[in-house]
A and B are shown apart, each in its own frame.
Chain A
Amino acid sequence: MGHADMDDLLKEFLAETREALDVLDSELVELEQRPGDPALLGSIFRIMHTIKGTCGFLGLPRLETVAHAAEDVLGRVRDGGLEVSPEVVSLVLAALDRIKELVADLGASGSEPAGSDDELTSALRVLASGEAPPVASEAPAVRPGTLYERAGGASGIDTACEIACAAFLEKVAQGDALAPDMLRLQFALAGGFAVALQKTPGIDIADVLTCLADNGWTESDIGTLRGEIGKAFASLAVNAEDVTALLGLLSREEPKPAAAPAPAAPKAGRPETAPPAERRDAAAGQAETLRVNINVLEDLMTMVSELVLTRNQLLQILRGCGDSPFGPPLQRLNQVTTELQESVMMTRMQPIGNAWGKLPRLVRDLTQELDKKIELIMLGADTELDRQILESIRDPLTHMVRNSADHGIETVGERLAAGKPEHGTIELSARHEGGHIVVQVSDNGRGLPTARIREKVVANGLATESQLETMTEQQIQQFIFRPGFSTAAAVTSVSGRGVGMDVVRSNIEKIGGIIEFQSTEGAGSRFVIKIPLTLAIVSALIVECAGERFAMPQNSVIELVRISHTSEKGLESINGRPVYRLRDRLLPLVSLAEILDLPRTDAAEEEDGPGSTYVVVSQVGAFVFGIIVDKVFDTEEIVVKPVSRTIRHIPSFSGTTILGDGRVIMILDPNGLATAVSAAPHVEATQQADGSHQVRGRDAVSMLVFQTGDGGPKAVPLSLVARLEEADLSTAEQAGARTVLQYRGGLMPLIGLDSQPAARSGKHPILVFVDGHRMLGLVVDRVIDIIEAPLDLQLAGGSRPGILGSAIIAGATTDVIDTVHYLRQSDPDWFSVETEKAFGEEDSRNVLLVEDSAFFRNLLMPMLTLAGYHVTVAEHGEAAIEICKDHGRFDIIVSDIEMPGLSGFDLARMLKSDAQMKGVPIIALSSHANPKDIERGMSAGFTDYVTKLDPKALLSVLSRVLSSDESATEIAA
């Protein structure tokens, strides 16, 4: 086939064959599981068959031979002559691999590589036959340039024989008599030629003629037939020399007597057997499809992108025009463009299953290699996403599945020993969620031992022991995404390919996705990947900073906060870094102008008054942060264009786009910005200050350190502080002996630690304490920092009123103030939680507080006392037991969980097994409040669970538990 379009044809063949091969891979693995499935078998056979058939046209003898040998094996299986065993599947898979290699070489070089497949094909043939090689007339090993090939191969010889037979019958005018046999004659001739030309054993062409002579054909008949055969070959463009050689085959060199009882011609043809029924799959209703070159689709996408931009431009103009006759048609254009854009995007969508095709094979091979039993479950394979994204996640997914199979799933022995079913499961699932696709890879293997991660983290210097101490298990697990991290004790041949999870993460993040990892030791691991549906056109928020506009991808924007001077809450500052208390969360902020080093302008201030600014709250992974910008405009559909090479190294940008008004602007990369934010020194402090975000290690607490009056720094637990404000004390008013400030539509009393607040003037930071509708402002001179302080503070007793004691915080002796003292001072009712005293309970309830930390004892005891409880303190679990025995009944016990010696859990269990004490509710007090701890606490017998740093919550829990206890008693009574 020396056609000019050969290259094209070859390309198409390669593309089509690759697709078919991908299907084959997974189907073969399926076949191993369902060996009897005829539909599956038929489908596999057919693909191999088609590859073989097509290769012949393209002059690809190696491919053809290998496909043919594999097809024969499959044919034998299909006909029931061979059972589907792992050996059979392995060998066919080996053939498949060879075909893939050949196809790959073919794709790279345009021709089949030299080499031999004899070993493979003979192994396949042994499987296929057990007897002689298959039908001789087929060409097992056609070498280019052989006479067989020059004669046209099976097809050419067959055609020549057919023509010759037809012409012969016409010539001898015996048509009627011979007609029924013509087909047989044709077969016999064709088969004979094939045998003679390929030197395979069987009936030779000379035998055919001899046989004809034996059956009463005359010499002249045979001569005529020879002549016709010669002519027929010649008519098929076989050259004269070859025709002579072919005719030479029609007689034997050595004279052959007619004695040999040659079998009748029909044997060669075997025409009497029934036709094998072609197997048929249940006809699946296929939607009409059309294949389109990918470049055409890309071009379409580009053009639609341009159209979107033009549309945006027109809309922008229209907005400025008020009533315009172009309005309605432009609206229509707008709508149609959107629909067109969606449709074109649809054409780029591919089912994610396309990226999963190779996985069953991968897992299967691994199970054999690693001697494990693994079942791969794939859910949501038809979930569609942009092909560009599909390509980007193909390798990461493969890597994760390989990891799961290699490191995650245990060997059969290990699983059985652990009481698990011997089959491990790897589950791959995909689903749409908002504008995203969520892909999960999970396994029920051994999980990732956190202890091992810790060791590794410390060994590699990624973090120190003490840093790890303050982290949750989940946080520690995320270290696997750090560069150079690998937990496999020994690098195995399977997973140890130099690709770490860091590469996986960066690949995912490159396309705007996020990846998270969860693992439970002994129960398995799970990767959750969230990726956008498409990259080409995204919805973006247009913001302005220092007079420059930027696009911020909408999917990473959580909310917008406008902060003006008149807002009740403003920007706060920790360590000179801006933070913002958004609801109950301290949000680290970065100024876009600062990151990008833009000159500050007053643009925002002109319009919205001084001090007004916007915060774009964004999320990258679990990290939430705010970006300070000057202005916020509309959201717009923007077309993502790559960043110019010269500025590609700047992490803050992910692309460029053209705005409706024609301006070229940069698209901000939330990942890059997040890096800039987390590099800022205050973030750690902010995260630590943010109780909801981080669970502290034992006895560590965020302290707000401030300076006021003379003397050293003072500190107060941050969790008690509701807000940080700054107010000009000259606006404060005197109400009797109290200084009050108008705040949030009410009057907030102000106090100072050492002097009357009224004695000060000018702007001062105010720590605001809030309890329901009550507020109290503590005026201080300067907020120094928020510091994560260990809580085994050496508290110097409570001799000075208002001071719990002093502690060394950040190297300085710091007075820890007794908040309760001041609150109480300002309002005697503070902390008197509305306990249900409707029953006229006058006697105070007996509370046993078990707490080993002096700090917390000193913090909680006065508070509980103030709230009207009678508090007994035990300094450790053992003491609590003693006290219970000696003093008998308590209404409720509040116990720390983590104590040296008898832990809170142990204490709870002991108390619950004590006949006298088991009815007493026990509240767990802990710095850890993760769900696992809570569950553990509940099962140990705790009634409720309260975080140490939330005294309000403790009071309300006490009140609730005691009142429900009461009503329960009443009902019982």
Chain B
Amino acid sequence: MAVDLKMPILIVDDYRTMLRIVRNLLNKIGFTDIDEATDGKDALEKLRKRTYGLVISDWNMQPMTGYELLKEVRGDAALSSLPFVMVTAESKAENVVAARQAGVNNYIIKPFSAEILKAKLKTVLGDF
């Protein structure tokens, strides 16, 4: 199955630098349509306005964290199957497991390269 590089992706982080880094990496992989949100609440609003093919969200944000966003997304019928990748600086297994249990498609530990991001996205979206 081919991944559509033109699909809209929402990246969520409250640190501008991170948003920019993730955007750069996604661009490098070949994605072109990237929107940004600065926290869970903002993301949720944007997710309800537009149909995205993927969400890449930071875990640790204010006021709504990535984990809370994930739970909201999974609890929303319209969004429940949306591919969701969590970015975290903590490779603490318990966090990752909690995220898995809450329905995250994959998680990725900071820092990561384009190759790593691509490999992670492959496990979520399939080959491209």
> Using a CB–CB distance below 8 Å, which chain A residues touch chain B?
1, 3, 5, 9, 12-13, 16-17, 42-43, 46, 49-50, 52-54, 56-57, 135, 137-138, 152-156, 158-160, 162-163, 166, 183, 187, 190, 232, 235-237, 269-271, 273-276, 278, 280-284, 291
Contact = CB atoms under 8 A, between A and B. Distances in A.
B123 A155 contact: no
A281 B62 contact: yes
A281 B65 CA distance: 10
List the 9 shortest-distance A-B pairs measured between CB atoms, nearest first.
A275-B98, A56-B111, A53-B89, A283-B63, A155-B112, A155-B109, A278-B65, A13-B17, A57-B111
A572 B17 CA distance: 68
Contacts of A158: 91, 109
Contact of B63 (A17, A57, A282): A282
Contact of B116 (A12, A46, A236): A236
A271 B94 contact: yes
Contact of B97 (A42, A57, A159, A275): A275
A159 B116 contact: yes
B89 A3 contact: no
A56 B17 CA distance: 12
Given A162-B120, A271-B93, 4 more contacts: A50-B18, A53-B110, A135-B92, A274-B98
Contacts of B90: 49, 138
Contacts of B91: 135, 137-138, 154-155, 158, 190
Contacts of A281: 62-63
Contacts of B57: none
Contacts of A52: 89
A413 to B, nearest CB: 43
Interface of B: 14-18, 20-21, 24, 41, 59-65, 67-68, 89-101, 106, 108-113, 115-116, 119-120, 123
A659 B118 CA distance: 61
Contact of A152 (B24, B60, B113): B113
A305 B72 CA distance: 49
Contacts of A57: 18, 21, 110-112
Contacts of A42: 62
A235 B64 CA distance: 35
B15 A156 contact: no
Given A56-B110, A138-B91, A278 B116 contact: no
B71 to A, nearest CB: 11
Question: For chain A, what secondary structure do more than half of its interface residues adopt (helix, strand, loop), or is it mixed?
Answer: helix
A487 B63 CA distance: 49
Contact of B108 (A155, A163, A236, A282): A155
B68 A237 contact: no
B78 to A, nearest CB: 22
A235 B119 contact: yes
A830 B10 CA distance: 92
Contact of B60 (A13, A46, A159): A46
A49 B106 CA distance: 21
11 contacts: A9-B17, A17-B17, A50-B15, A155-B91, A155-B112, A160-B119, A163-B119, A236-B119, A278-B59, A280-B68, A281-B63
Given A53-B89, A237-B115, A163 B123 contact: yes
A10 to B, nearest CB: 9
Contact of A155 (B18, B92, B97, B111): B111
Contact of B94 (A43, A163, A236, A275): A275
B116 A16 contact: no
Contacts of B21: 1, 9, 54, 57
A283 B64 contact: yes
Contacts of B15: 16, 50, 53-54
Contacts of A237: 113, 115
User: Max chain A CB contacts within 10 Å: which of B16, B99, B106?
Assistant: B16
B31 to A, nearest CB: 16
Contact of A273 (B17, B24, B94, B113): B94
B127 to A, nearest CB: 12
Given A9-B24, A152-B113, A159-B119, A278 B68 contact: yes
A403 to B, nearest CB: 36
Contacts of A269: 93, 97
Given A155-B108, A274-B94, A282-B63, A183 B100 contact: yes
Give the interface centre of A156, A160, A187 by most chain B CB atoms within 10 Å: A156
A155 B88 CA distance: 10
A39 to B, nearest CB: 10
Given A16-B16, A153-B111, A275 B123 contact: no
Nearest to B41: A283
A278 B115 contact: no
A232 B116 CA distance: 10
Contacts of B96: 183, 187
Nearest to A190: B91
A161 to B, nearest CB: 11
A783 B55 CA distance: 89
Contacts of A46: 60-62
A960 B24 CA distance: 86
Given A9-B20, A163-B119, A291-B16, A43 B62 contact: yes
B60 A276 contact: no
Of A3, A155, A190, A235, most B-chain CB atoms within 10 Å: A155
B36 to A, nearest CB: 11
A842 B79 CA distance: 104
A280 B95 CA distance: 16
Contacts of A273: 94
A275 B112 contact: no
A159 B18 contact: no
A280 B66 CA distance: 11
Given A156-B113, A187-B93, A16 B17 contact: yes
B120 A159 contact: yes
Contacts of A166: 123
A676 B120 CA distance: 74
B112 to A, nearest CB: 4
